[in-house]
């Protein structure tokens, strides 16, 4: 599980917040009990003194009174528990409070990350991917092959259903081999055929295994993020962080490539992003409504040759799923 310094700091700050809030609550409990049951304040003081006296005795005279001290303190602690019970307080009311009892709000158990840290990491990655809400419904659990026709369309060798089943299998194989071989994907085809939906399915599967994923529409990527950082010298701090993340996240998803206004600046930025990520062995998924010929005509040869050589190319075809889903929803 690899995080940037800012990501790790954000996670650890949440743990520091838990520790601070829980400590404050512990103090409130103690003050309440000392106020309502003064004898417990006396007991805590006596327990502390007994422990200190045992240490002093061992240091000064070499006499070990640890066993006697423990027995004495156990008697005092038993009285304390009885007093809490008599006054209607839970037995653990004065014990340390932890948001996660497993790691005691440290984030680790020994040398391993605690399950709570892993879940916090997933939540952070979801937020930073910009897909946190979308992925609740756009994931493999909801991917429905029945929307793809099983009859030949007269143009392609495979039916839309067979073709989509192959693409779905390739996507799952991509995820399974991600840590070992990485790779890149190009989804192309007309609008409404499931390219973005399947991209989100892949994103969720990787986010759920603590991989870093960043989703960007082509328009937002080039006209907002890259433009702000390069042309406006990073006036928006959020753009600077996103721009840096473009190069280091495990998977970058560029959705709707071709919808942006393409010029020399955009072509240069696109080439730099794709080339750098390939060199660093970082994976990229591109979806576009353009066909391969249109991609070649719109972007430079040095961009398209890299894409066609380094990406698994998947052609989406069939009926418009978005329209089919709307019709189905209307009928209901």
Q: In the structure, what pLDDT confidence band is assigned to residue 319 with cuts at 50, 70 and 90? A: confident
Cα of 298 vs its chain's centroid, Å: 34
Q: Which of 30-44, 68-82, 147-161, 275-289 has the lowest mean pLDDT?
A: 68-82
Does residue 1 carry a pLDDT above 60?
no
Place of tokens 């008697």: 75
Q: Is the dihedral of CA 82, 84, 87, 89 positive or negative?
A: negative
Q: In the structure, what pLDDT confidence band is assigned to residue 294 with cuts at 50, 70 and 90? A: very high
Cα-trace Rg, the chain: 30
What are residue 316's DSSP bridge partners? 189
> What is the mean pLDDT of the segment spanning 306-329?
87
Which pLDDT score is estimated for 104?
Answer: 93
Does residue 325 carry a pLDDT above 80?
no
Which pLDDT score is estimated for 19?
Answer: 94
What are residue 112's DSSP bridge partners? 109
Helix (H) or strand (E) holding 197: helix 195-207
Q: Which residue has the higher pLDDT, 97 or 121?
A: 97
73-96 pLDDT tens trace: 899 999 999 999 999 999 899 999
Phi, psi of 169 (to 5 degrees): -65, -40
233-267 pLDDT tens trace: 656 666 777 788 889 888 999 999 999 998 999 99
Residues 46, 48, 54, 60, Cα dihedral to 10°: -110
Average model confidence (pLDDT) across the chain? 88
Which pLDDT score is estimated for 233?
Answer: 64
Task: Say if residues 319 and 148 touch (Cβ distance below 8 Å).
Answer: yes
Which pLDDT score is estimated for 223?
Answer: 87
Question: What distances in angstroms separate CA 95 from CA 83, 105, 106, 302, one per listed residue?
Answer: 15, 15, 17, 65
Task: Say if residues 251 and 214 touch (Cβ distance below 8 Å).
Answer: yes
Task: Say if residues 103 and 22 touch (Cβ distance below 8 Å).
Answer: no
Note the pTM of the prediction, 2 decimals.
0.68
């Amino acid at each position: 599980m690899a995080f940037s310094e800012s990501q790790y700091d954000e996670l650890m700050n949440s743990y520091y917040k838990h520790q601070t809030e829980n400590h404050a609550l512990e103090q409130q409990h103690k003050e309440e009990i000392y106020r309502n049951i003064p004898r417990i304040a006396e007991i805590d003081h006596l327990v502390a003194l007994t422990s200190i006296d045992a240490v002093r005795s061992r240091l000064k005279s070499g006499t070990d009174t640890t066993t006697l001290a423990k027995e004495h303190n156990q008697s005092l602690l038993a009285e304390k528990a009885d007093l809490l019970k008599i006054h209607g307080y839970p037995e653990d009311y004065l014990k340390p409070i932890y948001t996660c009892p497993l790691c005691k709000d440290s984030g680790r158990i020994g040398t391993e990350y605690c399950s709570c840290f892993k879940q916090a990491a997933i939540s952070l990655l979801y937020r930073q991917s910009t897909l946190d809400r979308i992925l609740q419904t756009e994931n493999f659990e909801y991917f429905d092959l029945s929307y793809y026709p099983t009859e030949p369309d007269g143009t392609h060798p495979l039916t839309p259903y067979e073709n989509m089943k192959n693409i779905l299998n390739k996507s799952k194989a991509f995820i399974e081999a991600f840590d070992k071989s990485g790779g890149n994907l190009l989804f192309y085809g007309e609008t409404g055929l499931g390219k973005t939906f399947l991209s989100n399915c892949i994103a969720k599967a990787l986010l759920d295994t603590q991989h870093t994923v960043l989703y960007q529409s082509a328009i937002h990527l080039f006209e907002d993020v890259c433009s702000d950082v390069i042309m406006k010298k990073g006036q928006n701090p959020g753009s600077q962080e996103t721009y840096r993340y473009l190069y280091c996240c495990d998977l970058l998803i560029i959705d709707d490539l071709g919808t942006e206004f393409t010029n020399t600046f955009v072509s240069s930025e696109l080439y730099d992003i794709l080339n750098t990520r390939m060199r660093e062995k970082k994976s990229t998924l591109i979806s576009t409504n353009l066909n391969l010929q249109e991609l070649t005509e719109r972007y430079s040869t040095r961009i398209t040759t890299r894409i066609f050589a380094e990406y698994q190319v998947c052609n989406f075809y069939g009926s418009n799923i978005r329209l089919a889903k709307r019709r189905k929803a209307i009928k209901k």
